[in-house]
Amino acid sequence: MYSGINNSNREKIRACLGNSKLYSVAKLIHSKYAKLSSNYHSLPDFLIIGAAKSGTSSLYEYLNQHPSILPCVVKEPNYFTAYYNRGLDWYKSCFPFKAKRFFCPEKKFLTGEATARYYWYPFAPERVKQLLPNCKIILLLRNPVERSYSHYKMRYKNKIIDQTFEQEILDEPKRIEGEWDKMLNDENYFSFKFNSNGYLTKGLYINYITKWFELFPKKQILVIKAEDFFSNPEKITNETLEFLGLPSIKLKNYEIMRKGLDDKLTSDIRKKLIDYFKPYNQKLYDFLNVDFGWDK
């Protein structure tokens, strides 16, 4: 069973440390540890790069239950996005020691991580290519209408926002105005505003994924329709394992993690969003040579 630290638990640990001086000391100790142990850690063999609210947490959980996969200490280290300035030593410290391969019950040993921000962040593809040219890339794509609403429901459920979905998407343009250009003009800037408020914008998949295909050969990229994963997680998990060169497994539980609220979009808003996303979806279908059927 996967025992890594998720982002929520990481924040709880920080809160428990409380005193800012104590937290600073902890960071310093970890920094020294990372530098001293860097050469003894593995780098990831695979990355789940997104999209958020498309089953990335669940797929990562299932993969980490395979005897040949050892997890990253945190599901989403966000190294190639917000935390790139922490350096390679820090990133490597998130992964298992190379020596653990000798204790792996199977002959093959893999490790990886799942950061849903990677697929859209403008500098992530080049950074990954430079460090991990042979890495396997896994991308789950969900109907952008459902993805955007699930994104909203997560924030509403966590009491980050209290507006209706319709009002949130109406406010989206002004909330993220100029943020994309800021990122393009400063490779050290990561826009948390764009990440949090880009309900619809982050669903324009064709605007982001082409760069990954320019830099990585198709044989290294697996694109998964999230709806297929939700309807048959065992099948898709084992197809992903095959892509990684590992034998299939059968888990006792395939419960989808991090479910949102169960309410549905009104037909009026759904129709408007279907029409909004339709031309972008068609470009995606043409690019991937597959029709996901999201416009029906």
Please tell me the predicted confidence (pLDDT) of residue 75. 87
Parent domain of 159: 7-288
Phi, psi of 138 (to 5 degrees): -120, 125
CATH of the domain at 82: 3.40.50.300
CB neighbourhood size of 157 (10 A) = 12
* Structure-token pair, residue 28: 């310093």
- Would residue 1 count as lying in a domain? no
| Count of the separate structural domains present in the chain | 1
* Structure-token pair, residue 20: 């800012």
Phi, psi of 195 (to 5 degrees): -65, -40
**Residue 41 DSSP code:** B
Burial of 52 from C-beta contacts in 10 A (0-12 / 13-18 / 19+): buried
Please tell me the predicted confidence (pLDDT) of residue 2. 41
- Would residue 28 count as lying in a domain? yes
Decide: 255 and 278 in contact? Cβ < 8 Å.
no
Catalogue the E-assigned strands of the chain.
46-50, 69-71, 110-114, 136-141, 221-225
- Would residue 293 count as lying in a domain? no
- Would residue 296 count as lying in a domain? no
Residues of the chain with pLDDT under 70: 1-21, 23-37, 102-107, 257-263
- Would residue 115 count as lying in a domain? yes
- Would residue 295 count as lying in a domain? no
- Please tell me whether the peptide bond between 51 and the residue prior to it is cis, using omega within 30 degrees of 0: yes
* Structure-token pair, residue 219: 């044989």
Please tell me the predicted confidence (pLDDT) of residue 1. 40
- Would residue 67 count as lying in a domain? yes
* Structure-token pair, residue 204: 């324009």
- Would residue 282 count as lying in a domain? yes
* CA dist 165 → 144, 160, 162, 169, 263 (Å): 14, 13, 9, 6, 12
At 127-182, the pLDDT tens digits run 999 999 999 999 999 999 999 999 999 999 999 999 999 999 999 999 999 999 99
Q: In sequence order, what DSSP letters do the residues of 78-121 get, joined into one string?
A: -TTTTTGGGHHHHHHTTS-BGGGGGG-SSS--EEEEE-TTTTT-
